[in-house]
Amino acid sequence: MPKIIQISVPPEKSFEEEYIFHLALSKSGLYESDVKDWYIKKRSVDARKRPVKIQLAVALFEKGEEIVSPLQDIVFKNVANAEPVHIIGAGPAGMFAALACIEHGLKPIVFERGKDVRSRRRDLAKLNKEHVLNPESNYCYGEGGAGTYSDGKLYTRSTKRGDVNKVLSLLVQHGADPEIMVDAHPHIGTNKLPSIITAIRETILNYGGEFNFEHKLTDLEMEKGVLQRLEINSSKKIETSELVLATGHSARDIFELLHRKEIKIEYKPFSLGVRIEHPQELINSIQYHGERSSVYLPQASYSLVHQVDGKGVYSFCMCPGGIIAPCATEPGSVVSNGWSPSKRNNPYANSGMVVEVDDELTDAYASFGPLRGLKFQEEVEKTCWEAGGKTQALPLKDYLILYMERTV
Ligand SMILES: Cc1cc2nc3c(=O)[nH]c(=O)nc-3n(C[C@H](O)[C@H](O)[C@H](O)COP(=O)(O)OP(=O)(O)OC[C@H]3O[C@@H](n4cnc5c(N)ncnc54)[C@H](O)[C@@H]3O)c2cc1C
């Protein structure tokens, strides 16, 4: 096991290898001649007080010790003739399920309702420039799912999410910057994701998996509660008694299909809110105590949590130097999300500001059973569209005045 040494350095020194090594060495009690190899294991910003510092965890390997690379080398098998596994949805869940199949010697056959990354780009351009939404090819549907044009922030507050290091290694294996293995808050950036998704698809194809774009699951044929066949594009039938359903959160038609087929689904509590935008420099100056003079400091982010009348209100998916994106999958509804390029160099920061949706809010939809949250969400999305149409944004002050007028 390496010796892990924690050091704190000024931002301008945080990429100077010689300086970092010798500082860590001086704290370790080792001589330089004792050390066989070393690397930076974690890097994070400590902005709790001025001056802002960078915290580093440095791994020092002594002579005679096995060097353990943080990067895992994932080995795949050729599965062209292996037992097939049908996967619906080529989002992050579907793609990683396909990779897991290959690792375990099974042949993934992926069906995706949207288009491949390249063709999908044209539909997004049309959406952004002409406000024309293609319900089958948009920010959420298509190769890579909502993940392709997501921000690519790769951290989770949960500690029970399996082998995070393996996921990061797979992304690096497919073109992500190796720094994601080191940063405490790793971020890929939307400009980099499409090529990573394409590389993952190529791995899946090279090892014998299959992709079928513009293939939408339209029905599940059941007999006595057991799956018999998949129906694709309302015509093609595929015999199977098992499938991996990785259709994500936006595919409301799938939740409705499952409910219709009496497949057990449960209402899951969720949060809902608005996306708020502010100048990035304002966030930098607040978080870095008015002193972001150093180019070595990343664009600052924030995370807010508050309780109002017993309800949790919190910021979500904060995108420093980012853009707000229209992420609806159905015409006539408003859904917004945020992304940022790898350099996070847009002048505005944005963040979701959400509140927990409790039973009281969804009571009016109780007759929809497990779909009640979905129906409530649909209603809010449509109401916002009717209120604002294509103009989906307004100054925060106006929003708050409107809110006060309607509630007081
Ligand atoms: C703009 C934006 C920014 C985001 N930023 C981040 C971030 O920084 N970090 C983060 O962790 N998360 C982020 N997210 C959320 C993240 O993208 C999703 O949590 C993630 O994509 C969910 O993966 P999934 O595979 O479960 O579902 P999805 O990505 O929704 O993929 C589901 C796939 O299934 C397909 N599908 C649906 N129905 C059918 C059907 N009937 N037949 C065939 N195919 C079907 C869809 O077309 C889609 O490709 C962001 C999302 C957006 C939109």
Q: How far is CA 345 from CA 222, 323, 350, in A?
A: 51, 10, 13
Q: Which domain-ending residue is among 260, 285, 300? A: 260
> 250 and 150 in one domain?
yes
Same-domain check for residues 230 and 379:
no
Which atom of ligand 1 lies nearest, measured to the CA of 248?
A: 27
Cis peptide before 51 (omega within 30 of 0): yes
Per-residue confidence (pLDDT) for residue 407, from 0 to 100: 76
CATH number at residue 14: 3.30.70
Residues 256 and 136 in one domain: yes
213 Cβ inside 6 Å of ligand 1: no
Does 74 fall in a domain? Answer: no
Q: pLDDT of 169-192, one tens digit each?
A: 999 999 999 999 999 999 999 999
Q: Which of 260, 280, 310 is the last residue of a domain?
A: 260
Q: Do 58 and 201 belong to one domain?
A: no
Which residue, of 260, 292, 307, is where some domain finishes? 260
- Is 70 contained in some domain? no
The count of structural domains within the chain is 3
What pLDDT is attached to residue 11? 93
pLDDT value of residue 389: 64
Decide: 246 in ligand 1 pocket, CB within 6 A.
Answer: yes
Asked if 326 contacts 127 with a C-beta cutoff of 8 angstroms, the reply is yes
Half-sphere exposure of 308 (CA within 13 A, CB side): 9
Which letter does DSSP use for residue 298 in this model? Answer: P
247 lines ligand 1 (CB under 6 A): yes
In a domain, 53, yes or no: yes
| pLDDT for 390 beyond 70 | no
pLDDT digits (tens, 9 = 90+) for 320-329: 999 999 999 9
Q: Same structural domain for residues 295 and 209?
A: no
* pTM of the model as a whole: 0.94
Q: Does 327 lie in the same domain as 254? A: no
If asked whether residues 12 and 128 sit together in one domain, one would say no
Asked whether 317 lines ligand 1 (CB < 6 A), one says yes
- For the Cβ of 148 lying below 6 angstroms from any atom of ligand 1, the answer is no
320 in contact with ligand 1, CB cutoff 6 A:
no
- The larger pLDDT score, comparing residue 50 to residue 7, is at 7
Please, where are the H alpha helices in 69-114? 92-103
Is there an atom of ligand 1 within 6 Å of 123 CB?
no
Q: What is the pLDDT of residue 365?
A: 93
Q: Does residue 216's CB lie within 6 angstroms of at least one atom of ligand 1?
A: yes
Asked if pLDDT for residue 391 goes beyond 60, the answer is no
- Mean pLDDT of the 383-398 span: 80
Helix and strand totals (H; E) in the chain: 11, 16
292, pLDDT greater than 70: no
Beta strand ranges found along 322-406 (DSSP E): 323-326, 336-339, 348-356
Residue 266 included in any domain: no
Q: Is the pLDDT of residue 392 over 80?
A: no
User: What percentage of the chain reaches a pLDDT higher than 70?
Assistant: 98
User: Does residue 119 sit in the same domain as residue 231?
Assistant: yes
Query: Residue 79: inside a domain, yes or no?
Result: no
In the structure, what pLDDT confidence band is assigned to residue 402 with cuts at 50, 70 and 90? confident
Is residue 175 in some structural domain?
A: yes
Probe ligand 1: pick from 140, 220, 303, max atoms within 8 Å of CB?
Answer: 140
Tell whether 122 is covered by a domain: yes
Ligand 1 mean position, distance from CA 145 (Å): 4
Nearest CA to ligand 1 atom 47: 141
User: Are the C-beta atoms of 312 and 277 separated by less than 8 Å?
Assistant: no
Q: 10 Å Cβ neighbour count for 90?
A: 33
- Cα(90) to centroid(ligand 1), Å: 9
| Same domain assignment for residues 344 and 381 | yes
**Which atom, in ligand 1's list, is nearest to the CA of 216?**
42
Output the DSSP codes for 6-37: EEEE-GGGTT-HHHHHHHHHHHHT--GGGEEE
Same domain, yes or no: 103 and 243: yes
Residue 317 is assigned to a structural domain of this protein: yes
- Residue 300 and residue 342 in one domain: yes
Q: Which domain holds residue 57?
A: 3-62
* Closest residue CA from atom 41 of ligand 1: 217
Same domain, 204 and 309: no
